[in-house]
Amino acid sequence: MAVKASEAMDIRLIDYESTSAAGVNLRALRQSLQTQSSGLRPNDVVGSSLNTWIGRVADVDQVDLGEWQSRNNALAALGLEQGSLKSTLQELIQRFSAARLGVLVGSSTSSIDRTEAAYTDLTEAGGLQPQYCQPRVHNPHAPALFVASYTGIEGPALTINTACSSSAKVFASGARWLEAGIVDAVLVGGVDTLCLSVLHGFDSLQLVSANPCKPFDQHRDGINLGEAAGFGILMRGEDSEADNGVRLSGYGESSDAYHMSHPHPEGLGARLSMQQALEMAGINPEDVGYINLHGTSSHANDLIEGKLIAAMFPSSTFCSSTKAWTGHTLGAAGITEGLIAVDALRTGLAPGCLNLDELDAQMSFTIEPGNRLIATNHVMSNSFGFGGNNCSLLFSRVSP
């Protein structure tokens, strides 16, 4: 059962940054959203001839990490170098000690890109080449291990892999760590990168489109895959000396376990996660001014989510999917889209649903291709993953 608003601790988001095909940092992302400039491009991943569009971050290719080398870790490092993240972390380490900070990273691929490379370049005896002898990299826990090493954080470190909800769930776990007094601040993040396993795995499920994706459109025909890294710093409100005026007011988590890759036909788990988030925040559906939808551009996912939104929220609630800017960034989608929602709360610019030409006739809710200026105290972000792993986040303005 969700925690009641009166029982929930004041958890603040004091700093955040986002790196994706739509922008290497928050400033660039804002520009892309404002100008409705997509980061998608025709597939140019080396070794893949798949006819599709992708969201690739070109700057990753320039990052050299030595013993930690992998595309996933390189993207995480690139993301951590943006904005004021590193300086904020250093201030917190000096204030509380490195052992009192924690790391939570969501990922669905970890560093499988590096493992792919290792197995295509084996020695004549069938062993790993020396440069690929990286036990900490060929490891599902690689993202959090690397981020802790890169930032100098010495407290608890956890990698969460619940498919596409992975980096939404880091906020919920981070809040619980703070509430339990395990840490005084927590770096939450998500990182996933493009590789052959990702592209051709999703293609084998017949989910990949040869066209730029069109979430919720009548003529949508599949997803575009992307890569991203996003990070945020959470603290208890009583300990935050300066912040963005944003708090994590509610979250909901569910696992309906209906099917390995298909959502529950009635969206039972997705409904439960949204209900829990609203209950924890102590607000009503009509209080939410913007929802960043999971909206993958697949037929079943969009239809089920769209019908749920129409049933649960008033028709005036403005919604959009932002995957036509970034691609579906899998384990990084939760934090990437959650931070876009946070930025809408702070700046008042809610992005539209890029490439939407004609809303699916089976849906009826407020979604449009153009951006909209909003004035609201609450925004929501949905992330619904394979296996029925669902997470909804609510962010709110801090009351004066």
Do the strands 225-226 and 53-55 form a parallel or antiparallel pair, or are they unpaired?
A: parallel
Closest-CA residue to 33 (of 373, 264, 291, 299): 373
Neighbour count for residue 336 (Cβ, 10 Å): 36
Closest-CA residue to 172 (of 69, 276, 289): 276
Catalytic residue at 391?
no
Closest-CA residue to 13 (of 327, 293, 232): 232
The secondary structure of residue 4, as a DSSP letter, is P
Q: How far, in Å, CA of 311 to CA of 329, rounded?
A: 27
The secondary structure of residue 359, as a DSSP letter, is B
Dihedral pair phi/psi, residue 44, rounded to 5°: -130, 25
Q: Round the CA-based radius of gyration of the chain to a whole number and report it.
A: 20
Residue type (1 letter), 235: M
Catalytic residue at 259?
no
Annotated catalytic residue, options 138, 164, 195, 391: 164
Annotated catalytic residue, options 294, 319, 378, 391: 294
Residues 6 or more apart whose Cβ sits within 8 Å of residue 365: 306, 309, 310, 313, 315, 317, 319
Catalytic residue at 294?
yes
DSSP string, 128-153: --GGG--TTTSSTTHHHHHHHHHHT-
359 half-sphere exposure, CB direction, 13 A CA radius: 17
Annotated catalytic residue, options 328, 353, 378, 391: 328
Closest-CA residue to 113 (of 71, 147, 55, 159): 71
The secondary structure of residue 205, as a DSSP letter, is T
Active site residues: 164, 294, 328
